[in-house]
Amino acid sequence: MKKYLILADGGSPHTLKWAKELKKYFNIYMISFNGISDEIKEMIDNNKLYDLRVNISVSGENINVLKKILSVKKIIEKIDPCYINAHYITSYGSVAIAAAMLSNYKGKVILSA
């Protein structure tokens, strides 16, 4: 089964919906900057979940998110997924693109608004 890496808020109901559907077709991995819900923890093996714990501000100025690019790069290299899907374009999308480029990732990067 192909590996699918989701970069998203692990506590979001939207992320849960995506993960539930994608799990039918892919081997799911997840990176979250701010926690992972119990529902997702029950659905995805703990060794496939990465909670990087970043203090995110809805008002912007999230330099701490950018500081996680190298951590995400290492995870991408370790997993080597066929797909990387970042929800949302601003924080998760920026980190996903930068980390994928730094790791010479050859798969597909999908950004969701």
First to last CA, the chain: 26
β-partners of residue 28 are 4
What range does the domain containing 77 cover? Answer: 3-112
Establish how many alpha carbons lie within 13 A of residue 42's alpha carbon, considering only the half-sphere containing its beta carbon: 6
CATH number of the domain enclosing 21: 3.40.50.2000
Q: Tens digits of per-residue pLDDT, 29-49? A: 999 998 999 999 999 999 999
Distance CA 30, CA 9 (A): 9
The domain tally of the chain equals 1
Per the confidence metrics, is the pTM higher than 0.95? no
Q: Tens digits of per-residue pLDDT, 37-81? A: 999 999 999 999 999 998 766 666 678 888 899 999 999 999 999
Question: What is the identity of the amino acid at 72?
Answer: V
Backbone angles phi, psi at 31, to 5 degrees: -120, 130
